[in-house]
């Protein structure tokens, strides 16, 4: 029950926080709900005056205005289509005595419940007025009498939910779904109702026990519950707990409070806090939800965001960074920004702050399972976020639109750590199956939070994808290549058998003699030579190096001989137009060849992901450094 206790504490700590505030500058749509209230979509707004007279009715067209806060009971919150009305705002088939549609009519139960509340010590002027109007039994007649269109001809609007607006003299808030005193009135009334008293497993106090626990956690149509106990027949569970018969409000009830006795107050607050957090700062993938938060209510870094989102820079700052990119920086600017950002969070969060990470998923419509749960101190959490981003950092080609000129786009390389969503797409393609996407993200979560090793099958998968350049568009392949380098680098750093972890840098390592790394460098030089030759000839086609990349990764020696032989015609072109460049590239290939250890060059066997690191680093070195030097030389000649 640790999770529900932490959520309960979160609710208590966050009640004074701005209701719609959110992390990372975004606005949350869902508020932190008051006790015994839920969110529901409304369809018709009925306006009454202070004497319970009908004024007007309007169809709520704006979808952003439909979701409202309504009071509810445990039974009405768990209903499907039965005789369990909500106390105030409900469907026409419940509220209207003169309803004559095809739906079942439940006006008697609704009016009795509302009347009890209106006549109680915890009543509210708005409740009394709505009750007085309801007893007239003219709701449907009055709505139709407005002459407004509430649906197609012969439309049965029994399923439409009514919300009330009562214009009372001196009342500042006439909307029942926003009136704080009305919320408090229902809380006080509902807490005085007859209930089962037992020891709450969370608070340790004897309180009214919840018989049904809230749902609608992920969205308004979500019927799944984390805690449910409706196994009262068939006995799927044949354990040690037994059912108890109790009498509530004159009716026999069968309850199972032995397995989970949680007070109504605790479960309401905990589930309200969870719903608020999910809307505010969660990662969603279909039914899967992953959320992390500080129990104190303070802002925490997004667990599953990429570094761009973590740094929260302006578009102008991002554009400036990609246009001023220096390959020689080798990630130093990134490391400095990451350290500063984490230090900022450490200053905001207190030492004793607890951070909770929770994953939720459902296999069916009725049950919601906790697939992942961790509690960490703020220092542990921040250290692991920093560790993940620093070890997963690599060069990514990014595109940004100019805010002043929409037609103009800026592109360039930035050092960032990719988001898990991007990692999944890089491993399995853009059209990855939802189930595979969910399971992969669940596997990556312990790598971030528990500092576990990257699964080797994911590393192998993304290396294969990156080696198949001709199967993807250029931008997609660029991203896949960067993810492959990031994953392999992180895997290598976390490999216990790797005694030289500091060797895996983002800069080109000219003295490195690993067979795979050197073959990657050779491929990059060959591709660059072909691309330059094709560009000078005005041709736009894929290079032999790119076309044979996948075969090269499986059979490097044999494939390299084919690629090298095919370079002859391209070298001839460069000799006539860019002899100095050809001279440089030939010397570079000779230099790389000379670094192979004896026997490594001819050795058979597939290349590991390390060849992609050598390929990408050499490629960036040629693009960023050689191109820059050539441009500067041409400018000097033209002066």
Rounded Cα distance, 278 and 300, in Å: 14
pLDDT band with cut points at 50, 70 and 90 for residue 231: low
Given a contact cutoff of 8 angstroms between Cβ atoms, the answer to whether 261 and 209 are in contact is yes
CB atoms under 10 Å from CB of 547, counted, come to 15
Higher pLDDT, 360 or 405: 360
Q: How far is CA 11 from CA 74, 161, 272, 457, in A?
A: 20, 29, 8, 41
pLDDT at 60: 93
**54-93 core/surface letters (b: 16 or more CB in 10 A; e: else):** beebeebeeeeeeebbbbbbbebbbeeeeebbbbbbbbbb
Higher pLDDT, 462 or 102: 462
Given a contact cutoff of 8 angstroms between Cβ atoms, the answer to whether 544 and 615 are in contact is no
Rounded Cα distance, 208 and 226, in Å: 20
Name the average pLDDT for the chain.
Answer: 86
Q: Is the pLDDT of residue 20 over 50?
A: no
Q: Is the pLDDT of residue 104 over 80?
A: yes
CB atoms under 10 Å from CB of 322, counted, come to 17
pLDDT band with cut points at 50, 70 and 90 for residue 639: very low
pLDDT band with cut points at 50, 70 and 90 for residue 197: confident
**E strands in 385-443:** 394-401, 409-416
The DSSP bridge partners found for residue 377 are 354
pLDDT at 317: 79
- Helix or strand (DSSP H, E) at 374: strand 369-377
Higher pLDDT, 246 or 477: 477
Q: Tell me which range, 7-16, 60-69, 553-562, is most confidently predicted by mean pLDDT.
A: 553-562
pLDDT at 258: 61
Q: How far apart are the first and last CA of the chain?
A: 76
pLDDT band with cut points at 50, 70 and 90 for residue 224: confident
Given a contact cutoff of 8 angstroms between Cβ atoms, the answer to whether 73 and 144 are in contact is no
546: which residues sit within 8 A by CB, 6+ positions away? 469, 470, 527
Average pLDDT (286-297) is 90
Q: Tell me phi and psi for residue 430, to 5 degrees.
A: -65, -30
Rounded Cα distance, 310 and 477, in Å: 24
pLDDT at 556: 95
Closest to 185 in 3D by CA, of 130, 132, 139, 135? 130
Average pLDDT (452-468) is 96
Given a contact cutoff of 8 angstroms between Cβ atoms, the answer to whether 181 and 166 are in contact is no
Name the token pair of 295: 């129990």
Closest to 437 in 3D by CA, of 609, 304, 300? 304
Q: Is the pLDDT of residue 398 over 90?
A: no
Average pLDDT (157-179) is 92
Please report the sign of the dihedral spanned by the C-alpha atoms of residue 202, residue 203, residue 204, residue 208: negative
When mean pLDDT is compared across 140-149, 361-370, 402-411, the lowest value belongs to 402-411
Q: How far is CA 588 from CA 63, 593, 621, 634, in A?
A: 63, 9, 12, 21
Average pLDDT (138-154) is 87
DSSP H helices, 87-147, are 92-95, 107-118, 125-134, 139-145
DSSP H helices, 120-207, are 125-134, 139-145, 180-191
Crossing angle for the helix pair 378-391 and 332-348, to the nearest 10 degrees: 170
Name the token pair of 369: 């399972």
pLDDT band with cut points at 50, 70 and 90 for residue 24: very low
Over residues 528-538, the pLDDT tens digits come to 999 999 988 88
Average pLDDT (571-585) is 89
- pLDDT over 70 for what percent of the chain? 87
When mean pLDDT is compared across 141-155, 323-337, 450-464, 565-579, the lowest value belongs to 323-337
Rounded Cα distance, 208 and 214, in Å: 15
pLDDT at 500: 56
pLDDT at 156: 84
Q: Is the pLDDT of residue 355 over 50?
A: yes
Rounded Cα distance, 412 and 395, in Å: 10
Q: Tell me which range, 286-300, 430-444, 450-464, 490-504, is most confidently predicted by mean pLDDT.
A: 450-464
pLDDT at 586: 93
Average pLDDT (494-509) is 74
Given a contact cutoff of 8 angstroms between Cβ atoms, the answer to whether 436 and 473 are in contact is no
Per the listing, tokens 């509530």 go with: 248
Over residues 297-346, the pLDDT tens digits come to 888 899 999 998 888 888 777 877 777 766 667 678 888 888 888 888 88
Over residues 381-396, the pLDDT tens digits come to 999 999 999 999 999 9
Higher pLDDT, 258 or 413: 413
Rounded Cα distance, 248 and 262, in Å: 18
Cα 456 vs. chain centroid, distance in angstroms?
25
* Contacts of range 395-402, beta carbons closer than 8 Å, 24 or more positions apart: 395/482, 395/485, 395/506, 395/616, 395/620, 396/478, 396/479, 396/482, 397/475, 397/478, 397/479, 397/482, 398/308, 398/318, 398/322, 399/475, 400/315, 400/318, 400/319, 400/322, 401/315, 402/319
Q: Is the pLDDT of residue 28 over 60?
A: no
Over residues 579-635, the pLDDT tens digits come to 888 999 999 999 999 999 999 999 989 999 999 999 999 999 898 766 665 654 554
Average pLDDT (83-93) is 93
pLDDT band with cut points at 50, 70 and 90 for residue 250: low
Rounded Cα distance, 303 and 291, in Å: 8
470: which residues sit within 8 A by CB, 6+ positions away? 542, 546, 547, 549
pLDDT at 627: 60
Average pLDDT (187-201) is 85
pLDDT at 562: 95
Q: Is the pLDDT of residue 428 over 60?
A: yes
**575-604 core/surface letters (b: 16 or more CB in 10 A; e: else):** eeebeebbebbbebbeebeebbeeeebeee
pLDDT band with cut points at 50, 70 and 90 for residue 251: low
Length of the chain: 639
Rounded Cα distance, 467 and 485, in Å: 12
Rounded Cα distance, 176 and 180, in Å: 9
Rounded Cα distance, 144 and 56, in Å: 10
Closest to 490 in 3D by CA, of 537, 445, 447, 439? 447
CB atoms under 10 Å from CB of 27, counted, come to 9
Average pLDDT (258-282) is 87
pLDDT at 57: 95
Given a contact cutoff of 8 angstroms between Cβ atoms, the answer to whether 302 and 24 are in contact is yes
């Amino acid at each position: 029950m640790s999770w529900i206790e932490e959520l309960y504490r979160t609710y208590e700590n966050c009640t004074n926080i701005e209701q719609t505030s959110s992390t990372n500058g975004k606005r949350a749509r869902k508020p932190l709900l008051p006790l015994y209230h839920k969110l529901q979509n409304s369809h018709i707004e009925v306006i009454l005056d202070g004497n319970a007279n009908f004024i007007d009715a309007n169809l709520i067209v704006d979808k952003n205005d439909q979701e409202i806060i309504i009071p509810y009971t445990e039974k009405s919150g768990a209903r499907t289509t039965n005789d369990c009305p909500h106390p105030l705002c409900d469907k026409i088939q419940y509220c209207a005595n003169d309803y004559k549609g095809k739906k079942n009519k439940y006006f008697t139960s609704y009016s009795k419940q509302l009347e009890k509340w209106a006549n109680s010590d915890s009543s509210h002027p708005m409740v009394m007025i709505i009750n007085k109007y309801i007893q007239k039994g003219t709701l449907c007649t009055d709505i139709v009498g407005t002459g407004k269109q509430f649906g197609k001809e012969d439309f049965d609007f029994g399923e439409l939910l009514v919300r009330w607006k009562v214009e009372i003299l001196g009342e500042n808030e006439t909307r029942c779904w926003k009136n704080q005193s009305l919320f408090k009135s229902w809380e006080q009334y509902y807490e005085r109702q007859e209930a089962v008293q037992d020891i709450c497993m969370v608070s340790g106090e004897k309180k009214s026990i919840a018989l049904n626990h809230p749902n609608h956690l992920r969205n308004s149509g979500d019927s799944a519950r984390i805690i449910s106990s409706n196994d009262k027949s068939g006995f799927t569970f044949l354990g040690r707990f037994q059912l108890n018969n109790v009498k509530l409000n004159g009716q026999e009830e069968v309850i199972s409070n032995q397995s989970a006795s949680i007070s109504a107050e605790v479960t309401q607050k905990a589930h309200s806090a969870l719903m608020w957090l999910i809307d505010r700062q969660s990662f969603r993938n279909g039914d899967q939800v992953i959320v992390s938060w500080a129990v104190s209510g303070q802002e925490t870094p997004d667990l599953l965001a990429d570094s761009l989102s973590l740094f929260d820079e302006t578009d102008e700052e991002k554009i400036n960074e990609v246009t001023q990119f220096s390959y020689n920086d080798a990630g130093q600017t990134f490391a400095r920004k990451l350290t500063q950002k984490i230090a900022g969070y450490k200053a905001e969060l207190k030492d004793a702050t607890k951070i909770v990470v929770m994953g939720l998923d459902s296999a069916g419509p009725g049950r919601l399972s906790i697939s992942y749960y961790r509690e960490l101190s703020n220092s542990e959490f921040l250290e692991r976020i920093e560790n993940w981003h620093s070890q997963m950092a690599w060069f990514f080609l990014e595109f940004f639109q100019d805010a002043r000129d929409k037609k103009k786009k800026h592109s360039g390389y930035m050092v960032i750590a990719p988001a898990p969503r991007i990692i999944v797409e890089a491993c399995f393609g853009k059209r990855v199956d939802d189930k595979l996407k969910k399971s992969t993200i669940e596997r990556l979560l312990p790598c971030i939070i528990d500092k576990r090793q990257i699964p080797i099958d994911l590393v192998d998968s993304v290396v294969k994808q990156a080696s198949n350049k001709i199967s993807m568009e250029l931008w997609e392949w660029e991203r896949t290549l960067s993810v492959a380098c990031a994953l392999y680098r992180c895997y290598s750093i976390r490999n216990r058998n790797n005694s030289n972890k500091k060797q895996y840098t983002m800069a080109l390592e000219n003295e490195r003699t690993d067979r795979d790394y050197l073959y990657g460098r050779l491929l990059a030089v060959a591709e660059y030579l072909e691309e330059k030759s094709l560009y000078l000839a005005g041709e736009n086609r894929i290079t032999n190096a790119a076309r044979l990349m996948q075969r090269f990764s499986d059979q490097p020696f044999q494939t390299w001989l084919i690629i090298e032989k095919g370079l002859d015609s391209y070298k001839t072109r460069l000799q006539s137009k860019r002899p100095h460049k050809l001279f440089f590239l030939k010397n570079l290939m000779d230099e790389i060849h000379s670094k192979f250890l004896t026997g490594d060059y001819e050795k058979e066997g597939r290349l590991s992901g390390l060849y992609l690191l050598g390929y990408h680093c050499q490629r960036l070195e040629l693009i960023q450094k050689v191109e820059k030097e050539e441009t500067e030389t041409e400018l000097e000649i033209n002066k």
